[in-house]
Amino acid sequence: MKLGSLKSSQSMDGELCVISRDLKTAVKATAIAPSLREAMEKWSEKEASLKKLSDDLNAGKATGAFAVKEGDFHSALPRTWLFADGSAFIYHIKLVRMARKAPLPETLSTVPLMYQGECGQFLAPTEDIPQRDFAHGTDFEGEVGVVTDFVPMGVTPDEALKFIRLYVLINDVSLRGLIPEELAAGFGFFQSKPASALAPFAVTADELGEALKDGRIHLPLNVKYNGEFFGKANAGAMHFHFGQLIAHAAKTRNLAAGSVIGSGTVSNEDHANGSSCLAEKRMIEQIDTGAIKTPFMKSGDTVEMEMFNAKGESIFGRIFQKVKAV
């Protein structure tokens, strides 16, 4: 099933909705749980009722169904208890470390990198990315992610996969100009990682079908920048799978139900696939031509992210954001 959060003036969590498989219709599920965040906290109690409503909606039998309008929906989870973002694509790590002349970690292939990001407010998927100082180097980062049930401390990677309840698409906004100074102080990221955005719809594993295997989503992430092709890197190239990322996050703490675990920027070594962030493209330009040509984002620039299944159907809906000077 597909779940989303209708924007609401009454609650920062929005109103829980079930979305049809073709993303054309939706129905409120607030009688089951007021919001997706609250549904995640009682998933074992709510899942069956949500599944029944989803089946009814897809069969054209749901009472109160309405047409989906992109701008009416917030991020699938407008806010939650934890956003822990990994960096599971080693080629991305190599490129961005090269860009800021930083050494690679000795445990690059054995221990995931992870930071704790802003989770109390995700931008809506069609909301402007605010930028107050363009010297900060505004960048987008296309990622896939999961939403977990309660995860006990010390869980193993294989066990961790069993706690995944939903899959999401993420634009992890980064301020590249602030990152080197923060990390040099030995206590980043913070200022360099403002609010991110999720795609409007979170989906259960069955919506991904055969593309979901080995704890990874084996589908390309389609990225457009200012309306032009930018990337189609395959998310299945994760070095660390989602179970490993969850286990890393839960090594010394329980994870609350509704925790979002990000994959890090989707990245492939084949440059024909393009990139999922500007920092990578800039570094590839430096390697190939000896000069960086692509600037970071400026006011009015747009980024679009979407993932399609083998039939060409959108899975999560799209993220479409414009940078706005504030």
> Between the CA of residue 88 and those of 80, 129, 182, 214, 244, what are the distances in Å?
22, 25, 21, 14, 9
What is the pLDDT at residue 221?
98
DSSP 237: G
The answer to whether 252 and 133 are in contact (CB under 8 A) is no
Burial class from Cβ neighbours inside 10 Å (0-12, 13-18, 19+) for residue 97 reads middle
**Strands 302-307 and 228-231, sheet pairing:** unpaired
CA distance 210 to 218: 8
Q: pLDDT tens digits, residue range 87-133?
A: 999 999 999 888 888 889 899 999 999 999 999 999 999 999 999 99
Burial class from Cβ neighbours inside 10 Å (0-12, 13-18, 19+) for residue 229 reads exposed
pLDDT above 90 (res 249): yes
pTM score > 0.95 for this model? yes
Q: Across residues 223-251, what is the average pLDDT?
A: 98
**Residue with tokens 């054309």, as numbered in its chain:** 24
CA distance 166 to 162: 11
What is the pLDDT at residue 287?
85
pLDDT above 90 (res 181): yes
CA distance 175 to 186: 17
Q: Across residues 132-160, what is the average pLDDT?
A: 97
pLDDT band per the 50, 70, 90 thresholds, residue 224:
very high
What is the pLDDT at residue 233?
98
